[in-house]
């Protein structure tokens, strides 16, 4: 899908879709792995452990698909800053020191478009659980809290960098950007982790007893 101009009277804001199905694939794979324990043969018995597994797995699946949808929304750049929708991380331009494409990163999917910030701890402030883990991991591995595969962006990474450079010249007051979206994302991610823990416990505990 092509990028769309959004909510800025000057036409300078940019929304860039992210063409990645990796999150959805990983969630479905984990669901299948968790489910294999209960599908070795036909059975009509409904036990407490199977009920807990089913509830936990469904919670994990729904939470994961919600994150997959957010991931495909990609990035939004506007006068206030840049937002990475996978974890609803919004960073005002006052904290951004630059965007660049790093071709020397390790692992698959390189090169990456990386958002550099003056204070990585500030980007992680108030973010716990999965979001905090992702921010910390990106900062350690790539040098910035936001790092996405450049080839999966709906527009060239150079166009994103050019837009960011232009918006950084005259930033608007950011305030508490997308606070509600951030809270909702954290709740869904927490629910998914709880579902995963419940499903895993429903499999492991009966084996140990």
Summarised one tens digit per residue, pLDDT across range 100-120 is 998 877 666 679 999 999 999
Number of residues written out for the chain: 209
Q: What's the pLDDT at 7?
A: 39
Q: What is the 3-state secondary structure (H, E, C) of the chain?
A: CCCECCCCCCCCCEEECECCCHHHHHHHHHHHHHHHCCCCCCCCCCCHHHHHHHHHHHHHHHHHHHHHHHHHHCEEEECCEEEECCCCEEEEHHHEEEEEEECCCCCCCCCEEEEEECCHHHHHCCCCHHHHHHHHHHHHHHCCCEEEEHHHECCCHHHHHHHHHHHHHCCCCCCCCCHHHHHHHHHHHHHHHHHHHHHHHHHHHHHHC
Percent of the chain exceeding pLDDT 90 equals 53
pLDDT tens digits, one per residue of 168-179: 987 776 556 678
Q: How much is the pLDDT for 1?
A: 39
Per-domain residue ranges for the chain? 15-208
Q: How confident is the model at residue 41 (pLDDT cuts 50, 70, 90)?
A: low
Please give the model's pTM, rounded to 2 decimal places: 0.82
């Amino acid at each position: 899908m092509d990028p769309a101009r959004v909510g800025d009277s000057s036409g300078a804001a940019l929304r860039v879709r992210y063409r990645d199905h990796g999150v959805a694939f990983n969630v479905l794979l984990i669901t299948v792995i968790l489910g294999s324990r209960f599908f070795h043969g036909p059975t009509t018995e409904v036990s407490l452990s199977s009920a807990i597994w089913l509830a936990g797995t469904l919670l994990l699946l729904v939470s994961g698909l919600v994150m997959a949808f957010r991931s495909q929304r990609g990035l939004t750049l506007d006068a206030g800053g840049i937002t990475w929708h996978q974890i609803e991380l919004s960073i005002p331009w006052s904290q951004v020191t630059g965007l660049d494409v790093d071709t020397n990163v390790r692992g698959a999917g390189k090169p990456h478009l990386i958002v550099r910030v003056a204070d990585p701890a500030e980007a992680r402030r108030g973010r716990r659980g999965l979001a905090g883990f992702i921010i910390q991991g990106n900062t350690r591995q790539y040098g910035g809290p936001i790092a996405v595969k450049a080839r999966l962006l709906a527009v060239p990474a150079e166009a994103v960098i050019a837009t960011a450079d232009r918006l950084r010249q005259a930033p608007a007051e950011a305030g508490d950007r997308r606070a509600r979206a951030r809270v909702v994302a954290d709740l869904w991610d927490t629910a998914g982790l709880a579902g995963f823990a419940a499903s895993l416990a429903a499999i492991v505990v009966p084996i140990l007893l």
